[in-house]
């Protein structure tokens, strides 16, 4: 997530670019310049051809973005939260923080993207026919074909591709069992991924070009994505409805606010091997009532202070102030806490009620809960 470049907002949705996107951008632009445009625009000079290839690639990724925006807009209209859209090596992805609430919402969301790609394909192909001039015709014909391909590929029935989501929606509607539907749809996704790998590798060795190898890469990515989206759903189901107060660690080592950082590093961070500590206000406190907490001190906060200044800076000064980013009320869902932790770089959240510290929650606490549930078979 930290490797994303934010490029702006469209319809309130944050759009970002992962650094891997630059790789695919260069591959597509150079492929166009030396392939499609070399073939159909032989009279154009190489410099101009590269310029056209670059602009066409930008239009291609604008099409991918419109595909993702369609998914996101339908999701938001159905009351779901979308945290943003990212363009990356294998195309685009809409980041949903929640699952669709019903099979019909899932179906609408899933078909919105390929539908947009089909509309774009029709528009570009029409433009390629009506516009005068060789260059426009060649550019729009390419964009028309590639958008049709995008729609067709995404409709393949392997979860988490759009077609796999359609399949899941159907199975979900039919069986009323979301986890079973997800299990079947993602096994289709894994099967499809393996097929793509096999065909891609075979094609490459039978004299295929880079495209075959790329197909194998996409197959590998799909296999991984199918597996992890199923695991994530299992985790989500197990953790939804479990309040963090049931999972948190109650015996918390807290650092006094006035303690200098060099002592904190020596007595707490090195000695107890935790990556984060709550910082408590000085003065007496009643342990039954809880501790008055003023901040959360993460290793990253300590690293932000130069080592030679550690003796002169207190834990209270270096700590991050309490905010929604590092605290949760005890009633919060364990799943929501896990999502929040993965978005913040500290990996810990303080469980705070009316300004009093009730406990601390980490991924380890949540994994411990999952392990005991698995061992008990619940
Ligand atoms: Zn899609």
Give the model confidence (pLDDT) of 261-299 as tens digits. Answer: 888 888 888 888 788 888 887 655 555 555 678 888 888
Longest dimension (CA), the chain: 84
pLDDT of residue 171: 94
Side-chain half-sphere exposure of 21, counting CA atoms within 13 A: 24
- Residues 290-341 have pLDDT tens digits of 567 888 888 888 888 888 888 888 888 888 888 888 888 999 888 888 888 8
What is d(CA 307, CA 16) in angstroms, rounded to the nearest whole number?
A: 35
Partner residues linked to 321 by β-bridges: 295
Domain regions of the chain by residue span: 1-155, 163-239, 244-376
| CA distance readout (Å), 289 to 214, 354, 358 | 60, 11, 9
How many CB atoms are located within 10 Å of the residue 259 CB?
A: 17
Q: How far is the CA of 142 from the centre of ligand 1 (A)?
A: 20
Sequence-distant (6+) residues with CB within 8 A of 311 are 260, 261, 262
Q: How far is the CA of 209 from the centre of ligand 1 (A)?
A: 26
Token look-up 């993702």 returns 68
Sequence-distant (6+) residues with CB within 8 A of 309 are 261
What is d(CA 276, CA 320) in angstroms, rounded to the nearest whole number?
A: 11
pLDDT of residue 120: 96
Q: How far is the CA of 100 from the centre of ligand 1 (A)?
A: 15
Q: Are 186 and 159 in contact (CB under 8 A)?
A: yes
Q: How far is the CA of 71 from the centre of ligand 1 (A)?
A: 7
Q: How far is the CA of 366 from the centre of ligand 1 (A)?
A: 32
Q: How far is the CA of 155 from the centre of ligand 1 (A)?
A: 8
Q: How far is the CA of 119 from the centre of ligand 1 (A)?
A: 14
Structure tokens that stand for 198 in this block: 């096999």
What is d(CA 369, CA 375) in angstroms, rounded to the nearest whole number?
A: 10
| CA 317 distance to own-chain centroid | 33
Q: Please give the mean pLDDT across all residues of the chain.
A: 86
Q: How far is the CA of 91 from the centre of ligand 1 (A)?
A: 9
- Reduced to 3 DSSP states, what percent helix, strand and coil does the chain have, rounded to the nearest 5? 60, 15, 25
pLDDT of residue 165: 93
Structure tokens that stand for 31 in this block: 């492929």
pLDDT of residue 283: 57
Q: How far is the CA of 214 from the centre of ligand 1 (A)?
A: 19
**Which of the two residues, 186 and 45, has the higher pLDDT score?**
186
Q: Are 262 and 352 in contact (CB under 8 A)?
A: no
Pairing of the two strands 291-298 and 320-321: antiparallel
Cβ burial of 81 (10 Å; 0-12, 13-18, 19+) is exposed
Q: How far is the CA of 321 from the centre of ligand 1 (A)?
A: 39
What is d(CA 3, CA 365) in angstroms, rounded to the nearest whole number?
A: 28
pLDDT of residue 284: 52
Banded model confidence at residue 1, pLDDT cuts 50, 70, 90: very low
Sequence-distant (6+) residues with CB within 8 A of 124 are 140, 141, 143, 144, 147
- Residues 146-172 have pLDDT tens digits of 999 999 999 999 988 999 999 999 999
Q: How far is the CA of 169 from the centre of ligand 1 (A)?
A: 15
Determine the average pLDDT of the residues in 337-357. Answer: 82
- Residues 72-104 have pLDDT tens digits of 999 999 988 888 888 888 888 888 777 788 999
Q: How far is the CA of 265 from the centre of ligand 1 (A)?
A: 48
Q: How far is the CA of 67 from the centre of ligand 1 (A)?
A: 6
What is d(CA 374, CA 378) in angstroms, rounded to the nearest whole number?
A: 6
pLDDT of residue 280: 85
Look at residue 162 and give its three-state secondary structure: helix
- Domain 244-376 class, CATH top level: alpha beta
- Residues 247-264 have pLDDT tens digits of 888 888 888 888 898 888
């Amino acid at each position: 997530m930290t490797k994303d470049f934010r490029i702006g907002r469209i319809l309130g949705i944050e759009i970002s670019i992962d650094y891997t996107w630059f790789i695919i951008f260069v591959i597509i632009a150079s492929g166009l310049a030396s392939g499609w445009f070399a073939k159909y625009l032989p009279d154009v000079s190489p410099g101009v051809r590269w310029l056209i290839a670059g602009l066409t690639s930008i239009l291609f990724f604008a099409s991918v973005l419109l595909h993702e925006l369609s998914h996101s807009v339908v999701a938001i209209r159905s009351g779901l939260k979308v945290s943003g859209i990212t363009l990356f090596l294998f195309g685009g992805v809409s980041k949903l923080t929640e699952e669709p609430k019903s099979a019909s919402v899932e179906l609408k969301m899933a078909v919105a993207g390929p539908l947009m790609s089909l509309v774009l394909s029709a528009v570009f192909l029409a433009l390629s026919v009506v516009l005068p001039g060789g260059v426009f015709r060649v550019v729009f014909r390419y964009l028309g074909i590639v958008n049709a391909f995008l729609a067709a590929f995404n409709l393949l029935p392997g979860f988490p591709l759009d077609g796999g989501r359609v399949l899941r929606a159907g199975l979900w509607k039919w069986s009323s069992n979301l986890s079973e539907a997800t299990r079947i749809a993602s096994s289709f996704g894994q099967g499809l991924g393996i097929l793509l790998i096999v065909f891609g590798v075979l094609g490459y060795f039978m004299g295929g070009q880079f495209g075959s190898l790329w197909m194998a890469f996409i197959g590998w990515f799909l296999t991984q994505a199918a597996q992890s989206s199923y695991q994530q759903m299992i985790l989500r189901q197990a953790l939804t409805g479990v309040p963090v107060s049931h999972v948190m660690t109650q015996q918390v080592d807290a650092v006094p606010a006035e303690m200098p950082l060099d002592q904190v590093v020596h007595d707490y961070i090195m000695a107890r091997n935790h990556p984060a500590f709550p910082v408590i206000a000085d003065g007496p406190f009643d342990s039954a009532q809880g501790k008055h907490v003023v901040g959360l001190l993460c290793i990253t906060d300590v690293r932000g202070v130069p080592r030679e200044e550690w003796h002169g800076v207190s834990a209270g000064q270096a700590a991050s102030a309490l905010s929604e980013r590092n605290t949760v009320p005890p009633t919060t869902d364990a799943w929501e806490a896990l999502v929040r932790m993965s978005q913040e770089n500290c990996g810990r959240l303080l469980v705070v009620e009316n300004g009093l510290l009730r406990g601390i929650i980490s991924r380890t606490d949540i994994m411990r809960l999952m392990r005991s549930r698995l061992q008990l078979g619940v």
